[in-house]
């Protein structure tokens, strides 16, 4: 039996490369060498935010944009990424009714507290 994968539009993921947890996750995701994923480190000095997004918004939570312009934020970004690398089953429970609310809130809490959790101060010093 042949396994088929859903074709996805290219996805550009904006992540904070100065965050140790974020950096570790993205490093692991890059090992899948997915041609439909492009990772952009928003902590570099030469980074310019895409139109309609600010550096502050990008620092608040992870963002991704499809080639079509469709924007994803928060845990939905991980659902999209994992789907593109063939591991959608791993994050599928995060979208189940009842659990979706819990996972969305948990990610929102993490994103709000990640600088403190990773030992960084509460302000963006990435520039």
Q: What number is the average pLDDT over the span 92-98?
A: 94
Tokens of 114: 């990640």
pLDDT range class, residue 6, cuts 50, 70, 90: low
Helices (H), the chain: 20-30, 55-60, 75-84, 88-91, 99-117
Q: Are 118 and 21 in contact (CB under 8 A)?
A: yes
Write the CA distances from 2 to 5, 6, 67, 83, 125, integer angstroms.
10, 13, 28, 18, 49
Tell me the pLDDT tens digit for each residue of 38-89.
999 999 999 999 988 999 999 999 999 999 999 999 999 999 999 999 999 9
Query: Taking the mean position of all CA atoms in its chain, how far away is CA 44?
Result: 17
H/E run at residue 38 = strand 37-41
């Amino acid at each position: 039996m042949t396994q088929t994968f859903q074709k996805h539009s290219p996805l550009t993921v904006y992540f904070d490369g100065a965050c140790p947890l974020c950096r570790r996750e993205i490093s692991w995701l890059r090992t899948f060498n997915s041609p439909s994923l492009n990772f952009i480190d928003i902590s570099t000095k030469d980074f310019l935010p895409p139109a309609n997004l600010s550096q502050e918004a990008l620092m608040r939570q992870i963002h991704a944009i499809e080639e079509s312009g469709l924007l994803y934020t928060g845990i939905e970004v991980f659902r999209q990424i994992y789907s593109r690398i063939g591991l959608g089953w791993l994050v599928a429970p995060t979208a189940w009714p009842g659990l979706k609310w819990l996972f969305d809130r948990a990610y929102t809490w993490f994103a709000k507290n990640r600088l403190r959790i990773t030992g960084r101060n509460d302000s963006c010093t990435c520039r």
